[in-house]
């Protein structure tokens, strides 16, 4: 990290009951077993459950609260937020922020899906090695890339639990209207 940069670890999945990331890594080293355990839509279902957890887990709520309050604070920006691969926990953070800022859902989804333009080429060797060892390419691409249904699951969880993005920020994250306005004012220019 460059000098003067403050690093903040926000463990979104601290309250998760499974160790899915560790299990996934092990399965990716055993492609034939991965085909059995993750094939037939199971990996997509696992990711969809994970995205729902980004909205509902207490640790996720606390982590995203900390992130968004930091982004609203001029003393704590500029800032970069990321996760291990930069697509899942980060993807929900970006989608939630963009939605709060009034970006249309189809634009948020298009932005989210552009992730594949960057992550899939970055992990091409791992994907190719997995396939060469007998793994199903769609499993590796589901792990290293994103699918619309992942983000749709998070939005569905948010809507079922809170109705609107503003209510999610208020009730789930404890960021009231004033805090939301601070974020909006920080990132939108009024003309």
The answer to whether residues 34 and 135 touch, using CB atoms and an 8 Å cutoff, is yes
CA-based angle 64:66:71, to the nearest 5?
A: 95
pLDDT value for 21: 64
Q: Specify the residue for token string 């937020």.
A: 81
Extract the tokens encoding 160. 């079922």
C-alpha–C-alpha distance, residues 187 and 71, integer Å: 9
pLDDT value for 84: 82
Q: Which domains can be identified in the chain, with CATH numbers?
A: 20-187 (3.90.190.10)
For the residues of 30-64, what is the DSSP string, one character each? Answer: SHHHHHHHHTTTHHHHHHHHHHHHHHH-HHHHHHH
DSSP 6: P
Per-residue pLDDT tens digits of the chain, which is 191 residues long: 778 888 888 999 899 887 666 678 888 899 999 999 999 999 999 999 999 999 999 999 999 999 999 999 999 888 888 888 889 999 999 999 999 999 999 999 999 999 999 999 999 999 999 999 999 999 999 999 999 999 999 999 999 999 999 999 999 999 999 999 999 999 998 77
DSSP 12: T
pTM: 0.93
pLDDT value for 189: 85
Asked if the peptide bond before residue 190 counts as cis, ω within 30 degrees of 0, the response is no
């Amino acid at each position: 990290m460059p000098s003067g940069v403050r690093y903040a670890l926000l463990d979104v999945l601290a309250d998760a009951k499974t160790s899915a990331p560790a299990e996934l890594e092990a399965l990716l080293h055993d492609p034939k077993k991965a085909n059995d355990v993750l094939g037939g839509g199971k990996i997509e279902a696992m990711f969809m459950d994970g995205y729902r957890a980004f909205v509902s887990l207490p640790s996720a709520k606390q982590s995203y609260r900390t992130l968004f309050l930091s982004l609203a604070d001029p003393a704590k920006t500029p800032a970069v937020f990321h996760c291990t691969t930069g697509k899942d926990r980060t993807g929900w953070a970006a989608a939630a922020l963009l939605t709060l800022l009034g970006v249309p859902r189809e634009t948020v989804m298009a932005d989210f899906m552009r992730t594949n333009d960057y992550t899939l080429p970055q992990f091409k060797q791992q994907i190719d090695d997995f396939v060469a060892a007998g793994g199903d390419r769609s499993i590796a691409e589901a792990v290293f890339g994103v699918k619309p249904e992942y983000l749709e699951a998070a939005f569905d969880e948010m809507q079922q639990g809170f109705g609107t993005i503003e209510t999610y920020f208020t009730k789930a994250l404890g960021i009231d209207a004033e805090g939301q306005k601070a974020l909006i004012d920080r990132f939108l220019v009024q003309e």
